[in-house]
């Protein structure tokens, strides 16, 4: 459990407290409150408002009178939802802001049925929790991604959903930070027998602190002296003025809690302050363990000053039972002490919300036409079981926001003209506005919606003429039948009217286009057939290795390399290699030979073998790529040979072979030290970054691995083997759909699953390389408990056995902070969702930080092995700001 202590400047705290006590950004909703009674202020100073305008459905209620003495405002009123399956609150928030979100549910037998509640609570399109208690508060801490936040109540059986209070409190951005996911409240307690719950205004964030009744073996401590609480967590003074310690000075202070499942991850936050005036001979020093494993320490609480010790990484407890113990150290004269503690489980909200532009466009359409459908609440597309009526979406790519592809508002009683808001639905493919009372002209902007191919405007009262741009749009299917006053142009729409004469109506001319296309295709086929016959007579039969599976020569379908620069004849290749005398290596592509150009410049000549799976297409791709890209960390192409069946690539000579050879020890007998490894990683990352950002269009390598990282005589790293590389043909594209290619173990699972290739696929492969260099373990090893290196590293870290993942041949000769930063970076690169992986630019920055840390070590004799992995990763921030990792 990595932890660190954080401080903050008093002046900044005062400014923020003033802001928080003014309730800036607070949202306090009394659900079911009459608008006539809104707003009102509690004795705490908090101001609550009615939920009118925040939800479009539901009925108001009040808890039964016999329970009113047990509760106060705003718990007395509620809103319940007897209609519809999903009913949602829509709250305007600030995007990219850390919020504490609380929802309160007090049944109070409001309906006289004495029935226990049982319904689901959703956070936007994601499941949050099940409400099945008569009195409960659900709390999460979440960073918003947009300016709209939705809290939805979902009926799952006979129980009718209800809610009493909805509260949002903005927090500092750098508090309660997680590696991934959001935080769900587990407990928040301070150690006192006072029985008083502390909240706003004592707590500027309006957190509720509940007193823990102390056991007989615990001694309470209190102070009337001032305790400095000026940290970013701003724990209330009333909380920090109390603490607990064991009555027996040699006993441990134990705190136990349970988790729903053993695999549940959680974060804990321990708040310390020494609130006893100690004598000169007194010492209080403690260690912290979790389920018997060392967690943190030794630690000494600061006199009358708050410090927060917190998780950097999520924890798990074997068996789902957590036992946190505070133990005095051997040099401590006093027992351990603890003032307060919080714990949260990790909750993931993986489902992305629908494309925000699509949602905004649809909301505008809803508002303009006054559409009030009970199902039109929450996210339009997801979850799929709550898809809005009349909407179809594309949700196939889980790494991208869902998009709205179809809008059916037929027979919806629409009046007026076609709203321009529809043009904001930029992914729309099908639009059905048939059988309404729409008037006016059909707007030209519909032709600008590139994806729109099917339109049904039949059964309305449109006037004017159909815009030519719409009629001429390729592939468009347009139905305007049943609009008696609508005209078409150039005779493109024809149908008989009531008088038997032809009237312009419904058909877009695709027949002529299809006929023309057929003629063109037929001519092209004849041309190719005759060209192939001619080629076979001139060149003779192609060798088998140059043929595709159906017998066609790839040269008939692949254009020749459009350059004569750096082109060598086969006889020149034989000369430069001295008739292929010296072999450098062999792979699936063929054999690599050593050679000289002009008798002086050393080169590596890769000859494509007849049996190689790397055909002419890959050969051509690599040549054309290396002819146009140049970077110090990409292997340079000296030239190539493309002569009949003889294909060769001629590279600059890399005298130190590939990185994998050095890691396995086959290249030499010395071990690459950690600094050299980091330098190689930085240079390799820079090569990838250039492909992604420096090339126009961007390139994806597709086969990043240690055997494709070559080293020259100065151990400078360069990426090689670009036969599988792909570019994005159109600038601005985020991915290309392509057949999966790459090396097992290094292959991006998302790319493998979706066939969508992005630069982030290279990032994943580079993450595997990072782990390979850190651990010096094979990528796939069936003899390990977890065969794949990513699973194995994650498994070892979860067990707390971090040291064992490091390459033992380094003998601890490395900066630990640098190593763990690299491990964290690798894990980020391996995120299952490509959008959550860093870019290669961010990877380069992170690796440079690792290298700088390693280079700043005080000489090679620093004994890092003697320290535990947890100790070296702990930091104490300065009085100015916390140090971020």
Catalytic residues: 703
DSSP state of 504: -
- Run of H or E including 547: none
Radius of gyration of the chain (CA): 34
Structure tokens at 708: 């494709």
Sheet of 461-462: strands edge to edge?
415-416, 437-440, 461-462
Asked whether residue 606 is marked as a ligand-binding residue, the answer is: yes
Q: Distance (Å, rounded) from C-alpha 622 to C-alpha 647?
A: 12
Q: Distance (Å, rounded) from C-alpha 737 to C-alpha 388?
A: 29
Strands 119-123 and 126-131: antiparallel
CB atoms within 10 A of CB 774: 24
Q: Directed axis angle between helix 816-829 and helix 789-798, to 10°?
A: 120
Q: Distance (Å, rounded) from C-alpha 612 to C-alpha 719?
A: 21
User: Which position has the token pair 């109540």?
Assistant: 153
CB atoms within 10 A of CB 797: 16
Report the sign of the C-alpha dihedral through residues 624, 627, 633, 636, in that order.
Answer: positive
Q: How far is CA 664 from CA 52, 246, 631, in A?
A: 68, 54, 28
Structure tokens at 756: 């969508």
Q: Distance (Å, rounded) from C-alpha 772 to C-alpha 789?
A: 8
In this structure, are residues 368 and 409 in contact, taking their beta carbons and an 8 Å threshold? no
Strands 454-456 and 477-479: parallel
Outline where DSSP puts E strands in 756-864: 756-757
Structure tokens at 686: 């820079």
Outline where DSSP puts E strands in 558-635: 583-587, 590-597, 601-608
Strands 286-290 and 709-711: unpaired
In this structure, are residues 688 and 704 in contact, taking their beta carbons and an 8 Å threshold? yes
Which of 212, 171, 230, 225 has its CA nearest to residue 339? Answer: 212
Q: Distance (Å, rounded) from C-alpha 226 to C-alpha 237?
A: 8
Helices (H) and strands (E) in the chain, counts: 16, 48
DSSP state of 274: B
DSSP state of 690: I
Q: How far is CA 63 from CA 30, 109, 439, 602, in A?
A: 13, 6, 50, 87
In this structure, are residues 476 and 446 in contact, taking their beta carbons and an 8 Å threshold? no
Report the sign of the C-alpha dihedral through residues 702, 704, 707, 713, in that order.
Answer: positive
Annotated binding site: 606
Annotated binding site for ATP: 606
């Amino acid at each position: 459990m990595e932890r660190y202590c954080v401080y903050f400047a008093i002046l900044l705290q005062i400014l923020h407290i003033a802001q928080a006590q003014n309730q800036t950004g607070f949202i306090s909703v009394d659900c079911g409150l009459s608008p006539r009674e809104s707003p009102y202020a509690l004795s705490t100073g908090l101001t609550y408002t009615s939920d009118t305008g925040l939800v479009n459905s539901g009925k108001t209620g009040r808890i039964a009178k016999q329970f009113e003495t047990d509760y106060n405002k705003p718990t007395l009123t509620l809103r319940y939802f007897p209609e519809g399956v999903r009913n949602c609150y829509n709250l305007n928030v600030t995007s990219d802001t850390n919020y504490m979100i609380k929802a309160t549910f007090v049944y109070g037998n409001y309906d006289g049925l004495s029935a226990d509640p049982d319904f689901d609570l959703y956070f936007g399109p994601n499941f949050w929790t099940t409400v099945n208690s008569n009195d409960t508060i659900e709390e999460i801490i979440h960073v918003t991604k947009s300016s709209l936040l939705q809290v939805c109540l979902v009926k799952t059986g006979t129980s009718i959903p209800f809610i009493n209070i909805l509260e949002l409190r903005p927090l500092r951005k750098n508090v309660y930070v997680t590696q991934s996911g959001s935080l769900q409240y587990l407990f928040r307690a301070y150690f006192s027998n006072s029985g008083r719950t502390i909240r706003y205004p004592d707590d500027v964030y309006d957190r509720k602190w509940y007193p823990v009744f102390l056991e007989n073996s615990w001694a309470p401590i209190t102070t009337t002296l001032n305790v400095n609480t000026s940290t970013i967590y701003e724990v209330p003074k009333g909380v920090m003025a109390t603490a607990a310690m064991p009555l027996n000075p040699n006993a441990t202070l134990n705190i136990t809690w349970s988790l729903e499942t053993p695999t549940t991850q959680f974060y804990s936050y321990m708040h310390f302050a020494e609130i006893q005036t100690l004598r000169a001979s007194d010492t209080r020093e403690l260690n912290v363990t979790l389920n018997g494993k060392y967690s943190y320490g030794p630690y000494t609480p600061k006199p009358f000053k708050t410090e927060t010790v917190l998780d950097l990484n999520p924890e798990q407890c074997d068996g789902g039972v957590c036992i946190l113990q505070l133990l005095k150290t051997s040099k401590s004269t006093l027992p351990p002490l603890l003032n307060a503690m919080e714990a949260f489980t990790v909750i993931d909200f993986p489902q992305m919300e629908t494309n925000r532009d699509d949602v905004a466009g649809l909301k505008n359409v809803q508002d303009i036409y006054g559409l009030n459908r009970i199902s039109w609440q929450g996210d339009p597309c997801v979850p799929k079981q709550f898809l809005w009526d009349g909407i179809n979406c594309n949700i196939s790519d889980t790494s991208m926001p869902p998009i709205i592809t179809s809008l059916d508002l037929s027979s919806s009683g629409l009046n007026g003209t076609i709203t321009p808001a529809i043009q904001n639905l930029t992914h729309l493919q099908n639009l059905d506005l048939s059988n309404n009372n729409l008037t006016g002209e059909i707007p030209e902007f519909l032709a600008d919606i590139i994806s729109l191919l099917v339109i049904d405007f039949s059964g309305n009262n449109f006037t004017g003429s159909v815009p030519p741009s719409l009629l001429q749009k390729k592939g468009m299917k347009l139905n305007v039948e049943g609009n008696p006053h609508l005209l078409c142009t150039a005779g493109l729409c024809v149908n008989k009217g009531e008088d038997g004469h032809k009237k312009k109506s419904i058909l877009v001319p695709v027949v002529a286009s299809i006929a023309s296309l057929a003629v063109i295709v037929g001519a092209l086929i004849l041309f190719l057939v005759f060209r192939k016959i001619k080629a076979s007579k001139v060149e003779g039969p192609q060798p088998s290795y140059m043929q595709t599976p159906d017998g066609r020569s790839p040269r008939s379908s692949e254009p020749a390399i459009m350059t004569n620069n750096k082109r060598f004849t086969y006889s020149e290749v034989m000369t430069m290699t001295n008739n292929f005398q010296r072999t450098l290596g062999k792979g699936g592509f063929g054999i690599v030979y050593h050679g000289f150009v002009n008798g002086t410049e050393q080169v590596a000549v890769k000859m494509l073998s007849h049996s190689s799976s790397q055909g002419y297409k890959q050969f051509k791709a690599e040549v054309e790529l290396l002819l146009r890209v140049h970077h110090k960390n990409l292997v340079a192409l000296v030239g190539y040979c493309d002569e009949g069946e003889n294909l060769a690539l001629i590279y600059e000579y890399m005298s130190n072979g590939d990185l994998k050879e050095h890691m396995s020890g086959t290249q030499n007998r010395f071990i690459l030290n950690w600094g050299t490894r980091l330098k190689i990683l930085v240079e390799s990352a820079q090569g990838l970054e250039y492909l992604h950002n420096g090339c126009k269009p961007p390139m994806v390598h597709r086969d990043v691995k240690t055997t494709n990282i070559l080293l020259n005589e100065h151990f400078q790293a360069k990426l090689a083997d670009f036969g599988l590389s792909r570019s994005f043909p159109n600038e601005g594209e985020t991915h290309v759909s392509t057949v999966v290619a790459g090396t097992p173990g290094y292959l991006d699972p998302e790319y493998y699953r979706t066939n969508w290739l992005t630069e982030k696929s290279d990032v994943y492969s580079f993450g595997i390389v990072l782990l390979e260099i850190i651990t010096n373990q094979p990528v796939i090893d069936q003899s390990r408990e977890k065969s794949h290196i990513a699973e194995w590293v994650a498994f070892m870290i979860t067990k707390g056995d971090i040291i064992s993942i490091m390459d033992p041949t380094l003998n601890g000769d490395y900066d630990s902070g640098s190593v763990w930063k690299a491990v964290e970076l690798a894990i980020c690169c391996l995120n299952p969702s490509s959008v959550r992986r860093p870019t290669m630019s961010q990877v380069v920055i992170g690796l440079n930080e690792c290298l700088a840390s390693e280079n700043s070590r005080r000489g090679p004799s620093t004994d890092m092995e003697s320290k535990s992995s947890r100790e070296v990763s702990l930091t104490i921030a300065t009085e100015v700001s916390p140090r971020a990792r």
